[in-house]
Amino acid sequence: DVKVTQSSRYLVKRTGEKVFLECVQDMDHENMFWYRQDPGLGLRLIYFSYDVKMKEKGDIPEGYSVSREKKERFSLILESASTNQTSMYLCASSLSSGSVDEQYFGPGTRLTVT
Amino acid sequence: LAKTTQPISMDSYEGQEVNITCSHNNIATNDYITWYQQFPSQGPRFIIQGYKTKVTNEVASLFIPADRKSSTLSLPRVSLSDTAVYYCLVGDWGTGRRALTFGSGTRLQVQP
């Protein structure tokens, strides 16, 4: 089974702090994704990566950056956390066959910024 | 990007068939339609995917009309364990275009 793990289930940070959310997948998937999930808004794509060191902005990249130095690991960085970044963050991965592959999601990190 | 619209919530009883519809009026030619299920405190899980007409697997069916401007997830004979949030995803992942749009989700409550 594909396993996607996220470094923390719950995280509390202060405004202005730099925050790192880590995601690791164990199935040699090419694609990795970061979403945020808010009530009534569903999942919104922040950034994705289709290869090591390759990244592209999703729908809501402002205030975030990402890093993919190794194939299995995709990090989401909040350079200066703000209260409006309080949310559930979901990481996902998928194989790359040139079409829309099934995404495998981690359990999520609930981030609270105070 | 395709904009997707789903009902916010639905109620059903055990043993009934449930149909959840997603509207995606500006779906692109190469976009696929995928449905995910999410339980509390878990990430979404893949249910089914299709491009046109009908797709069926062991847990659900997906109906897509010829114009592809909507899709319907059909869950036969639901049980209490089907209580979850269901998301439709419309998108393409070909070379030159990578675009994925999730709907806002439909909360299904199954009653005994």
pLDDT in tens, A46-94: 999 988 999 999 999 999 999 999 999 999 999 999 999 999 999 999 9
* Average pLDDT for chain B: 93
Residue (of B66, B44, B64, B45) closest to B56 by Cα position: B64
Contacts of B92 in chain A (CB under 8 A): 100
Query: Is-contact A89 A27, C-beta < 8 A?
Result: no
Residue B95 burial (C-beta neighbours within 10 Å; 0-12, 13-18, 19+)? exposed
Span A41-47, mean pLDDT?
93
Q: Which residues of chain B lie closer than 8 angstroms to A35, CB-CB?
A: 102
Residue B46 confidence class, pLDDT cut points 50, 70, 90: very high
Q: CB B43 to CB A107 under 8 A?
A: yes
Q: Considering chain B, what percentage of its residues have pLDDT values greater than 90?
A: 80
Contact A4, A73 (CB under 8 A): no
Q: Any bridge partners for residue A99, and if so which?
A: none
| B75-84 pLDDT tens trace | 999 999 999 9
